[in-house]
Structure 1
Amino acid sequence: MLAIPFVVRLTHGGEALPGTTVAGIDVAGMDAAALRARLRPLANPRRAVVVLAGEERLTVRPADAGYRLDLDATVQRALDAGRDGALGGLPATVAGLLSERDVALDADVDRVALRRTVETLARRVDEPSFPGALKISDDGLDVTAEPPRAGRLLDREQLRARLRRALLERSSGPLRVAVRATPVVSAEEVDAIATEAGDYLASPLTLLGAGAPFQVGRAELARALVLEPLDDGSEVRLGVDDEAVAAIVARFAHARDRPPRDARVSAGAGGVVVDGKEDLTWRPRAADVSIVPARAGRAVQQKRLATAIARAVRDGSHNARVPTRRVAPEVTTREARSADRLIGTFTTYYEPGQPRVTNIQTMARAVDGTVIAPGGQFSLNGIVGERTRAKGYLPAPFIADGRLVPSVGGGVSQFATTTYNAAYFAGLQLDTSQPHSLFIDRYPAGREATLNHPDIDLAWTNDTDAPVLVRAAAGDTSVTVSLYGDNGGRVVSAVTGARRPVPGGDFSIEVTRVVRRPGGDTERTPRTTTYDLLDE
């Protein structure tokens, strides 16, 4: 008798022993390859699982729901069955001769895929409850109620548990899953809100503050009133539509906002001529400056006003207080009063009657009167924008790739150079500037700037505690840019080095700006410029 299990094992080496089944399938005598072929259909079951949810009949493909079978592990289980246990597994081998031994599949269900599948099914079943709604005519005279409707919600946790078990047990269902009704208020409650809305529309809503009282009439209020659900629709109240209220608030703010007015500084456009092309020193001078005081602005706090309107409607009040905030001017009167000195000025010259002169004069008019607040930046391109015929600019020579070509607005680099030198001798922070590629003898060598929109700009920062007023005047033969403010007494010198020949080019030159501040601090900033020869 003891020899029987040894004979069975010997005759079934590398094969499933007699009596072995896998998920009810007889696999006795099959080797690994045969087992894989026989069990492979179980790895991707084609039979869908049927789910019954309320009146919905849904089907689920096992693979979509995350069902996974480890075929190799299952085959190994089948080959090992009857070969382990007490006494070297001999009793298990004998038992297989007398009855079937069923081997469980090595299968699992991916939780992420299962959750995703359940959510997809739920979207086909779920219906949100409808808490009811107000129907208000455009004139606000007719208010009726649309009745509420209960919704339904699939029991997701129950479906996940039952579907997982069905997949692992290879059951096709059908699985019955609970669908719960979602709570909803009664039709009488919605009717009561409609009556409340009609009563509210009988009087206008008055906004108090930021000027005279402002009334929001029936028709505009009618677009704002809504039935507002609370606690997932188990309660309702009279509320507002956020977009409609935002439109009311925006209209009010447009009428009642008041922008701040910066203090204005006025000073003469000329009177002092500085035009040196070599070494030069400049110190600020007292100037005759007049001031127009600043005025703070007012801004409606729109989000807070919208909240106040919503609260008034919910409380049945017809008054809402308007919250505002003070908007400070960028240039205060105190700052403007300190801008009482001519801190920098420069003049360059040209032949009268040329198109480029018209362009320079047009740009000067656009810049004249600009005030740069403390910490603010002057950007010539930013102030003037693109030079176009519509703005009055004419075609004139412009340097491009070492050649002179016509361009609308050509010649305005002279205005950029003049402005650059005014800021240079004012001792202000120079941010962006680019010298010409060719030397032009009407400009100081190494102390000039070109301009092109939008890629080549002239920019400087007002790094003083006072505003800087820019005055620009362009006559028939010259243009002058003057800067008024208070730079703290900075004295600026330009130290011009010798011109050095450049092989294949024209020359290079180094110009050092020396800024001396009261107290002895000195800042030296050299700049080397290399000029090309004109490409004929």
Structure 2
Amino acid sequence: MTATRRLRTWRRPALLALAAVAGLLVALAALALVVRLLHDGEALPGTEIAGISASGMSGDELRRRLAAATDPQRPLVVVAGERTLRIRPARAGYAVDLDGSVERALDAGRGGALGGLPATLKGLVASRDVALAATVDPSALDRAVASLARRVDRPSFPGRLEISDDGTRVDAEPPRAGRRLDRAQLRERLRAAMLGRAPGPVRVAVRERPVVSAAEVDDVVADAELLLSRPLVLAGGGEPLPLEPARLAGVLVLEPLDGGRRVRLGVDDEQLSALVARVAEQRDRPPRDARVEAPARATTVDGKGDLTWRPQPADVSVEPAAAGRTVDREALSRSIARAVHSGSHRARLPVERAEPQVTTAQAREVSHLIGTFTTYYEGGQPRVTNIRTMAATVDGTRVAPGERFSLNGVVGERTRAKGYVPAPFIADGRLVPSVGGGVSQFATTIYNAAFFAGLQLDTSQPHSLYIDRYPPGREATLNYPDIDLAWTNDTGAPVLVRASADETSVTVSLYGNNGGRTVTAETGSRRPVPGGDFAIDVTRVVRYGDGRTDRSTRTTTYDLLDE
């Protein structure tokens, strides 16, 4: 056979095969075109979206079907272990673009290589899944997951002791394992379900949380029964103090350890604190300050002008101080807790020595009348009732070295309940009735006593109007809470304040030891003031025992009474 003949024999079958393939392609292309023509304006065969077979559906029909299938208010079922929950997708941040989803479904199978004809034909033999045009807000999804988790989660319960009030019977509520929903898994599966990628209920794992065994709880019950079989004895600070089972019963609890994987007999902190407080009340013994007794009126000083005063030896008596004791509450709590944990029936009762604020040695330094002053009034007036009430309150006050005396601080607000009555009071240049009116006379009296004692004068305010029963420029007014009379005990000994008031006068005497300070009041002349009454200077000269001298001057300007 010649080469030409052999070539002809091979070419003919090849041409026939090519013609057949070409014909098949033409036929398939024609079929694809026919399918498109038949489904013009409709979803092509094989198209699925959100679990819906959209083949042959128009845009309007598909939109209605998708609206029903993807309704964000239709509850989505979540199966978590044995719990079945429901949540509205809208609460989880789900939102769907229906128009965009329909457009995707109608376009599916119409694009791609060779004009999309292969994609069209593929739909005749296989389905094509079209993704919804939907979104899920991450923050809302996190909140929904947290909300579902709270409905499923349950902490491990290690059990609980149930003890009778008298401590004679101990039972226990058994332990119970906890559970925790797998949040990460729920988040991903919930998202996939809402976006149409996972049909059916959302199933999510719930993991068991470990807990102790019932046998371990029974061991704690046995420990409690043994501890309550006899008293817990507290030793220290006097005679041993037994805590009977009835007193200890309310304190005992089943105490979880290592996240509930172990338990032991423990204490309830709040109940233990209450028990310790009651024990402390039994054992605390407050210290007793040394007491100084001295006459309320040893001498009379009432000068309104120039005056010099020197401390005078005083007839005083001293009641010695006594130390006390106080229970260390925190240490006692720890001691009882250790006894409970170890099953011991003995615990230490720690006490500390409580020292008096005023020692006997300090009180014995109160040897002199360091300052005193007396002012007068007409008896039978309402203001006298107020003065006498205030004097009774202040009498016996002890001011420690370095301590500040505040008249408002000691007496407080003047009220009817405390025995004060309405009486004239200077306000804005006028006399008006006020409960507690007239007590400025007591303020003036104690001011002068501190003045002549040479003590540090901190706060004082003179009256706006001059009242002739007071030393001019050497007096003080008082009002609660804004106008106070205050001085500081700047000596090394306590100061005892004695105050007494009778029908016609009030006296304040200060006892202590100021190191022999001599005080002189130098009163200047009255100077007329335009539009006012007068101004006056008063100088205090303090001569200390070591020879030092201190001079201080206060200028006071008085107004005229506003008629």
TM-score, L = length of structure 2: 0.75
> What residue number does 2:64 align with?
none
**Aligned equivalents of 1:161 and 1:470: distance in 2?**
80
Q: Tell me, yes or no, if the aligned pair for 1:258 and 1:299 is still in contact at 8 Å.
A: yes
Q: Where does residue 348 of structure 2 map in the other structure?
A: 321
Determine if contact 2:430/2:561 at 8 Å carries over to the other structure: no
Residue 456 of structure 1 corresponds to: 483
Offset, 1:65: 4.1
Q: Identity over aligned residues, as a percent?
A: 65
- Aligned residue for 1:362, secondary structure, equals helix
Identify the match of residue 303 of structure 2 among 276, 300, 307.
276
**2:243 aligns to what?**
216
- Using the alignment, how far apart are the partners of 1:147 and 1:234 within structure 2? 14
Where does structure 2 lack aligned partners over 5 or more consecutive residues?
A: 1-43, 55-66, 105-110, 121-129
1:185 aligned residue: 212
Aligned CA distance change for structure 1 residues 519 and 161 (closer, same or farther; 3 Å): farther
Range with bigger deviation, 439-448 or 345-354 = 345-354
Q: Give the structure 1 partner of residue 552 of structure 2.
A: 524
Q: Compare 515-524 and 185-194 and name the one that shifted more.
A: 515-524
Question: Which secondary structure does the structure 2 equivalent of 1:437 belong to?
Answer: coil
The answer as to whether partners of 1:109 and 1:168 remain within 8 angstroms in 2 is: no
C-alpha distance after superposition, 1:454-513 (max 9, x if no partner): 443322222333211111122343222121223345444444344344444433334344
Q: Does 1:227 align with 2:264?
A: no
Select 2:152's aligned residue among 106, 120, 125: 125
Choose from 458, 467, 471 the match for 2:494: 467
CA distance in 2, matches of 1:285, 1:161: 93
Contact persistence 1:49–1:171 (CA under 8 A):
no
Q: Take 2:460 and 2:116, find their aligned partners in 1: how far apart are those partners? A: 95
Does 2:538 match 1:508?
no
- What one-letter code is carried by the residue in structure 1 that aligns with 2:489? N
Equivalent residue for 1:34? none
Instruction: Provide, for residues 56-105 of structure 1, a one-character-per-residue CA deviation record: whole Å limited to 9, x for no partner.
Output: 3334455644569999xx99xx9xxxxxxxxxxxx9999789869x9997
Q: Deviations over 1:243-297 (max 9, x none)?
A: 3322321211111111122222233333333322233344444434333232222
> What is the alpha-carbon distance in structure 2 between the residues aligned to residue 133 and residue 125 of structure 1?
22
Task: Please name the residue that 2:561 is paired with.
Answer: 533
Q: Which residue of 2 aligns with 1:87?
A: none
Match of 1:448, SS state, is coil
CA distance 1:191–1:103, shift in 2 (3 Å): closer
Distance 1:295 1:103, change over 3 A: same
Q: Within 5 A, what are the aligned runs for 1:479-498?
A: 479-498=506-525
Which residue identity lines up with residue 238 of structure 1 in the other structure? L
AA partner of residue 456 (structure 1):
I
Describe how 1:386-397 pairs up with structure 2 within 5 A: 386-388=413-415, 391-397=418-424
3-state SS of 2:233 partner? strand
Offset of 1:209 from its aligned partner?
1.5
What is the alpha-carbon distance in structure 2 between the residues aligned to residue 527 and residue 53 of structure 1? 86
- Output the CA distance in 2 between the equivalents of 1:95 and 1:507: 114
List per-residue Cα deviations over 1:377-436 (Å, max 9, x = no partner). 222233233445555545443334433344444322211110011122323333333322
CA distance 1:390–1:109, shift in 2 (3 Å): closer
Helix, strand or coil for the counterpart of 1:223? helix
> Aligned partner of 1:129: which letter?
S
Instruction: Report the AA paired with residue 222 of structure 2.
Output: T
- Give the SS at the match of 1:312: helix
CA gap of 1:480–1:54, structure 2 versus 1, over 3 A, is same
Cross-structure match for 1:258:
285
Q: How does 1:88-237 map to 2 (within 5 A)?
A: 109-110=137-138, 113-163=140-190, 174-237=201-264
- Contact 2:132/2:195, CA 8 A, preserved across alignment: no
Is the alpha carbon distance of 1:365 and 1:105 closer, same or farther for their aligned partners in structure 2, counting shifts above 3 Å? Answer: same
Q: Distance in 2 between matches of 1:92 and 1:514?
A: 111
- Report the 3-state secondary structure (helix = DSSP H, G, I; strand = E; otherwise coil) of the residue aligned with 2:498: strand
Paired with 2:524 and 2:116, the residues of 1 have a C-alpha distance of 107
Instruction: Count residues with an aligned counterpart.
Output: 492
1:339·1:467 contact (CA, 8 Å) conserved in 2?
yes
Counterpart residue number, 2:30: none
Distance 1:162 1:304, change over 3 A: farther
For 1:35, the equivalent position in structure 2 comes to none
Structure 1: distance between partners of 2:155 and 2:92:
25
For the aligned residue pairs, the C-alpha RMSD in angstroms reads: 4.0
Matched with 2:7 is none
Answering whether residue 77 of structure 2 is matched by residue 57 of structure 1, we say no
**Shift of residue 179 of structure 1?**
0.8
- The secondary structure found in structure 2 opposite 1:335 is helix
- Equivalent in the alignment of 2:452: 425
Counterparts of 2:364 and 2:134, CA distance in 1: 88
Which of 375, 382, 391 matches 1:364? 391
Q: Structure 2 counterpart of 1:520, which letter?
A: R
Q: 1:342 to 1:65 in 2, by over 3 A?
A: farther
Runs of at least 5 residues in structure 1 that lack an aligned partner in the other structure: 1-18, 27-39, 79-90
Aligned letter for 2:383? R
Following the alignment from structure 1 to structure 2, what is the Cα–Cα distance between the partners of residues 465 and 166?
84
Shift in alpha-carbon separation, 1:94–1:458, aligned structure 2, 3 A = farther
Going from structure 1 to structure 2, the CA distance change for 1:204 and 1:92 (only over 3 Å counts) comes to same
- With over 3 angstroms needed to count, the CA separation of the structure-2 counterparts of 1:430 and 1:177, relative to structure 1, is farther
Q: Does 1:444 align with 2:482?
A: no
Distance 2:319 2:112 in 1: 107
Per the alignment, do residues 104 and 127 of structure 1 end up closer, same or farther by CA in structure 2, a change over 3 Å counting?
closer
Cα–Cα, structure 1 residues 148 and 332, in superposed 2: closer, same or farther, change >3 Å? same
User: Which structure's CA Rg is the greater one?
Assistant: 2
Counterpart in the other structure of 2:276: 249
Where do 1:336-415 residues align within 5 Å?
A: 336-388=363-415, 391-415=418-442
Does residue 1:302 correspond to 2:329, yes or no? yes
Higher mean displacement: 486-495 or 318-327: 486-495
- Show CA shifts across 1:276-330 (max 9, x none): 2233344444434333232222211222212211211221111111112232322
Q: Distance in 2 between matches of 1:447 and 1:255?
A: 51
Q: 1:282 to 1:114 in 2, by over 3 A?
A: farther
Question: What's the TM-score once normalised by structure 1's chain length?
Answer: 0.78
Q: Deviations over 1:423-454 (max 9, x none)?
A: 22323333333322321101012221223344
Counterparts of 1:95 and 1:494, CA distance in 2: 118
